Structure 1
Amino acid sequence: MGGTANSDSAAIGRARAAFAEGRRRLAAQLAGEVLDRDPMSLDALEVMALVRRASGDVAEAERLLRTAIAAAPTRHWPRDDLARLMLESGRPHVAEQVCRDAIKADPANANAQAMLGSLLSGREELVGGAAHLRAAIALVGPHPQLQANLGRNLARQGRLAEGERLLREAVAGAPESLQALAWLAETLEQDRRFDEASTVLDAAEKLAARQNTDVTLQRATLLSRTPDWRRGLALLDSAPMLSGAALLQRGRLRDRAARYDEAWQDFISGKAALARASGRHYPRGAVDRLIADLRAFFAPDPFRAMAAAPVKQGTPQPIFILGFPRSGTTLVEQVLASHSRIRAGGELPFAAELSAIAAELSGGAYPTCFEALPADLRASLATALRDHYLARAEAYGLLLPDADFFTDKMPLNALYLPLLRLAFPAAPLVAVKRHPLDVMVSAMSHDFTHGFDCGYALEDAAHHYAATSALTDYWRDGLGFPMHELRYEDLVAAQRAETAALMGHLGLATEPAQLAFHTSPRFAPTPSYAQVQEPLNDRSIGRWRHHAPPLEPARIVLSEAIARGSYAG
């Protein structure tokens, strides 16, 4: 027995050495011989999985790693390797589940905590991502990459001071990390500290030159915030190749310089490049079916047959801000959050969670068959949804004793508004409107993933706008949801009166800070952050006229929404 063990150990040592030397066939042969004697040998499974992974045989590598997990459920490396394999093979959702399983098996798995934190951060689940990144740091101590990832996560939540501190620590710990330097410069720019951001970018440029890359996009973005914005445009104009994000930035600057045809081409090319790089596409048929199902499920009579949840007294209530991305919802949230009794929640992911809970509790009856919804669930569902939403809001730090309200501006809220209305029957609803064609121009010039990735092609964005606009009007007119409609153009033209009307809908008096929202120290972590750091202006009104010819297909799709809003065009 001992001789066999020693022989296997020696064979594994030779197999590892062969793999390190690139002799995969020999490594596989040696590991295979060990597996013939002991099919659950962790060392042999590891070597064989490495060989299959290096050879591109993802399916076999996955099988071997899952075998290793079954053999040793508490060991870290099989789960860690499997999660990395799933990421490399373009299966992030599987990687996420592997990480969750790994943490469930052992919360002290630092690699799983770090990977899950990065995965969640990458898809904008920032609060959850930050929790796992913090857990990883608590396990391994200060680590520059983890500090950088957490710092950027916090900055994207709007917590710029915390993010800056961590990013500076990451730069100190890894001075050659271009990523950490670039993120630090971005955070300083977002905090309106342009000179400091420029100094950091100077250091980043020197480092980038040694690494055969550049920070042209970051420099152009910084310059776009200053009177020297044309120099940023010149940098991008002279760049030989641009990423999708850089094309969008150049397009915005070309638009600002009245180079409208070139700007539109940059928008189209930039969005196409981003879609190719990410694999994102708009599932139009599935979205249309979902909307049809929701309208049928929440017809007036069925909706009235469901019991609304009682208002939970003594707890801040949500304000649901409805509107297509780039319609002015960030501006409205900034106005609201400048009030002493209102906190900014941002784009909270809770509505989609409520939809998943309703589907689970109903055994799949929601959202396709109201008649199959059990009677007891019709009476209890709303309270269950309310309690889940409030528990999540508390975890996000939104249920503060000095606040009456907090905002929720997730664009998906329009889809699931009846669920939100059942859970919070007294919550204020604010529907933000803007000329649909101006929304299209802004949507095509910025990257966003809301709306089932509709924003990567003009036709998809227009289709989704038309569908969700009609759905919102149905909730208002068909189900009688009381909404305060706020037109972006009216707010620009009559800020004081429109702000007073908005606050009247909430039952609060306007505060002076709301009329000077652009001076708020709060950072709005959306693509609109720069705009809401400026006083109200009319520069974005009527932009669509400069792009009328390429917008014609969208104008046809949006004709009803344009007419309903009494807009020209």
Structure 2
Amino acid sequence: EKSENIKEQSRIVILAKSYDQIGEFEKAFEYFEKANEISFNINNKFINKKKALKMIEKRTNFFKDNKVKNWKQFNSKSKESSPIFIIGFPRSGTTLLDTILRSHPLIEVIEEKPIIGNWIKEIQKEVDSDLKYLHNINENSAQKFRKMYFDLRNKNIKKNNGKKIYIDKMPLNIIYAGEILRIFPDAKFIMALRHPCDCVLSCFMQSFKMNDAMSNFLNLEDSANFYDSVMKIWQLYMNTFSINQYTVKYEDVVTNFEKSINNILDFLEVAWSKNILK
């Protein structure tokens, strides 16, 4: 029965996209809703949209505490360069940036591996899943947690090349930026931004592999609420930390390609390469 439902969902998605292509948007919307309803029925025993929202709420409540702004900074230097992340809301252009940047001979993008998720799980095993451990970070514990991250990241690099820079791309790592910044104050973030209406609608129309976070895209209202929650926590991080970040708008990449990519390369301190245009 499940395989029949999956086939039916695929058929309806094709219909929805077809109606969208010929400009019959009300029909398209109706069929996207049907496809998402089938997706929910297939996956509802394994997903819980509230879990993702609670994860954000937990971090929002923690990081708005004034104690966070008074954290003592420690020496963040280690043998490895500070990590670089591509973050943003799903369907905001992170994959486009990945495709462009990986064409540069000195850049390797690690695409959507759960490195940060696994890193945080490993840390939580040691600190009983409580964010309060972040108040008590010292140089020794920071060094230990940094090594844990690089060990996990380097498993996803085929051949570590000292001349290359490595970018960890996972859009919703945006939720964990506070934890990342506590351990890596000098981390760099490329923040992909797209018009909220386009972004939210695109998420609703996309057939994502279901998990707790993606289950927020099965209807338009939930998609908009999830977008709001994610953007609010990023704004909280921006107001709380001095973040080494560069925001790139999807629309600018499309309309003014070379200037937009050159600005990102300047941020990464990498020279322009002709390979980018190939």
Q: Is the 8 A contact 2:78 2:143 kept in 1?
A: no
Whole-angstrom distance in 2 between the partners of 1:247 and 1:317: 45
Matched AA of 2:174: A
> Any stretches of 5+ residues in structure 2 without a counterpart?
none
TM-score (norm 1): 0.44
**Contact 2:98/2:109 (CA < 8 Å) preserved in 1?**
yes
User: TM-score scaled by structure 2?
Assistant: 0.86
Which residue of the partner structure matches residue 37 of structure 2? 272
> For 2:118 and 2:235, how far apart are their aligned partners in 1?
23
Distance across 1 between alignment mates of 2:222 and 2:39? 15
SS in 2 for 1:483: strand
**C-alpha separation between the residues in 2 aligned to 1:293 and 1:306?**
22
Q: Contact 2:193/2:247 (CA < 8 Å) preserved in 1?
A: yes
Q: Which residue does the alignment assign to 2:227?
A: 465
Alignment pair present for 1:417 and 2:177? yes
Q: 1:363 and 1:282 mapped to 2: Cα distance? A: 23
Alpha-carbon contact 2:134-2:182 (below 8 Å) kept? no
Q: Once the two structures are aligned, what percentage of the paired residues are identical?
A: 21
CA distance in 2, matches of 1:389, 1:351: 7
Q: Which residue is 1:406 aligned to?
A: 166
Aligned partner letter, 2:245:
M
Mapped to 2, the partners of 1:442 and 1:274 lie a distance apart of 16
Q: CA deviation at 1:264?
A: 1.2
Q: Distance in 2 between matches of 1:250 and 1:443?
A: 17
| Residue 346 (structure 1) shift | 0.6
Give the drift of 1:340: 1.0
Q: 1:333-373 CA distances to partner (integer Å, 9 max, x unpaired)? A: 11211111111201121222232233322234x22xx3x76
Partners of 1:362 and 1:373 within 8 A in 2:
no
Q: Tell me, yes or no, if the aligned pair for 1:440 and 1:462 is still in contact at 8 Å.
A: yes
Hey, what does 1:486 align to over in structure 2? 248
Secondary structure class of the residue paired with 2:16: helix
Q: Which residue of 1 aligns with 2:25?
A: 260
Q: In structure 1, give the amino acid aligned to 2:78.
A: K
Q: Distance in 2 between matches of 1:381 and 1:416?
A: 18
The equivalent residue for 1:60 is none
1:345-424 matches, cutoff 5 A? 345-364=110-129, 366-367=130-131, 370=132, 375=136, 377-397=137-157, 400-401=160-161, 403-424=163-184
Rg (Cα) greater in structure: 1
CA-atom RMSD in angstroms: 2.6
Deviation of the 1:305 alpha carbon: 2.4
In structure 1, distance between residues paired with 2:72 and 2:127:
13
Gap runs ≥5 in structure 1 = 1-212, 214-240, 517-569
- Provide the residue aligned with 2:49 in structure 1: 283
Deviation at 1:441, TM superposition (A): 2.1
Q: Does the 8 A contact of 1:319 with 1:427 survive in 2?
A: yes
Superposition deviation, residue 442 in structure 1: 1.4
- Alpha-carbon contact 2:86-2:169 (below 8 Å) kept: yes
| Cα distance in 1, alignment partners of residues 186 and 204 from structure 2 | 35
Query: Partner amino acid for 1:275?
Result: F
Question: Structure 1 residues 409 and 306, CA, compared in 2 at 3 Å: closer, same or farther?
Answer: farther
1:522-546 deviation per Cα after TM superposition (whole angstroms, max 9, x unaligned):
xxxxxxxxxxxxxxxxxxxxxxxxx
Determine the structure 2 residue equivalent to 1:497: 259
1:130-529 equivalent positions in 2, closer than 5 A: 243-279=8-44, 281-284=47-50, 286-298=51-63, 299=65, 301-302=67-68, 304-305=70-71, 310-313=76-79, 315=80, 318-364=83-129, 366-367=130-131, 370=132, 375=136, 377-397=137-157, 400-401=160-161, 403-448=163-208, 449=210, 451=213, 453-516=215-278
Q: In structure 2, what is the Cα distance between the partners aligned to 1:398 and 1:310?
A: 26
In proportion to residue count, which structure has more strand?
Answer: 2
